[in-house]
């Protein structure tokens, strides 16, 4: 894979170009979060062919990147962070020590974060990891009990390629960013990976089991397709000074 940059609507983004020996045509996609562009090309293409393809699809890129306007949020004082689908305003407590906690203040959901101001984003991410672990662990245990299948472990990462995975040895892995999605989406993701303990595929029997465990599977899949990428647009690193 080679790394370049591309200018789209005034923004300069990383362009990751990957040669695929089996590809018959060029394919272009926006990376989750809208922070980069990926281009897969067949072997043997000249640079001018790649550049011509990008020029022809420039309007498409502008449209797709434009969808992330206003969603590319850096978490800090006053920013908005969804917690299980509910928008919370970040409030830095000013205290160097203390727990991060969700509250209702003046009728509005607020996430109160302590510690140095530069660590607000990191502490908010830590809070989401904790909430994801709590909720996912509970839902996995429930669905595993219903399906009669045991699992080996549960891990949490910040993955972009998938929201969850299940290994052949029963190790489950989830993106902690799912804690920003509504509860029914979190429940679906837990049910999805538990269903893989019985069906290591995405065939009819798998989807039948998935919907039996989580009746809102169709709605959750639709939500993730429409909104999932925007969860990756939220940045938890401290703003550059």
- pLDDT at res. 105: 95
- pLDDT at res. 85: 97
- pLDDT at res. 97: 84
Average pLDDT in the chain: 93
- pLDDT at res. 72: 80
Taking each helix axis from N to C terminus, what angle separates 217-231 and 183-196, rounded to the nearest 10 degrees?
A: 110
Domains of the chain (ranges; CATH) run 2-66 (no CATH), 80-231 (3.30.2010.10)
CB of 163 within 8 A of CB of 188? no
CB of 77 within 8 A of CB of 60? no
CB of 28 within 8 A of CB of 62? no
Nearest to 172 by CA among 193, 145, 187, 189: 193
Dist CA 99 CA 215 (whole Å)? 35
Residue listed under structure tokens 């679906």: 188
Residues in the chain: 241
Give the 3-state secondary structure of residue 212.
Answer: helix
Render each residue's pLDDT in the chain as its tens digit; 241 residues.
567 899 998 889 999 999 999 999 999 999 989 889 999 999 998 899 999 999 999 999 999 998 888 788 899 999 999 999 999 999 999 887 888 999 999 999 999 999 998 999 999 999 999 999 999 999 999 999 999 999 999 999 999 889 999 999 999 999 999 999 999 999 999 999 999 999 999 999 999 999 999 999 999 999 999 999 999 999 998 544 4
- pLDDT at res. 1: 54
What pTM does this model have?
0.85
């Amino acid at each position: 894979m080679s790394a370049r940059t591309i200018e789209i609507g005034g923004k300069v983004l990383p362009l990751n170009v990957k040669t695929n020996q089996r590809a018959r045509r060029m394919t272009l996609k926006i990376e989750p979060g809208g922070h980069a562009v990926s281009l897969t090309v067949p072997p043997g293409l000249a640079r001018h062919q790649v550049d011509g393809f990008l020029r022809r699809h420039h309007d498409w890129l502008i449209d797709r990147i434009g969808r992330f306007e206003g969603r590319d949020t850096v978490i800090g004082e006053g920013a908005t962070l969804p917690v299980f689908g509910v928008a919370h305003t970040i409030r830095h407590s000013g205290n160097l020590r203390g727990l991060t906690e969700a509250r209702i203040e003046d009728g509005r959901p607020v996430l109160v974060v302590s510690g140095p101001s530069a660590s607000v984003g990191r502490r908010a991410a830590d809070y989401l990891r904790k909430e994801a672990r709590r909720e996912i662990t509970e839902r996995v245990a429930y669905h595993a009990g219903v399906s009669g299948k045991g699992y080996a472990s549960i891990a949490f990462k910040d993955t972009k390629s998938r929201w969850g995975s299940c290994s052949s040895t029963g190790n489950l892995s989830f993106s902690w960013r799912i804690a920003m999605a509504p509860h029914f989406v979190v429940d679906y993701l837990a049910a999805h990976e538990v269903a893989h303990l019985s069906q290591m595929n995405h065939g009819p029997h798998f989807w039948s089991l998935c919907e039996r465990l989580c009746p809102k599977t169709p709605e959750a899949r639709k939500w993730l397709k429409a909104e999932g990428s925007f969860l990756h647009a939220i940045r938890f690193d401290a703003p550059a000074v």
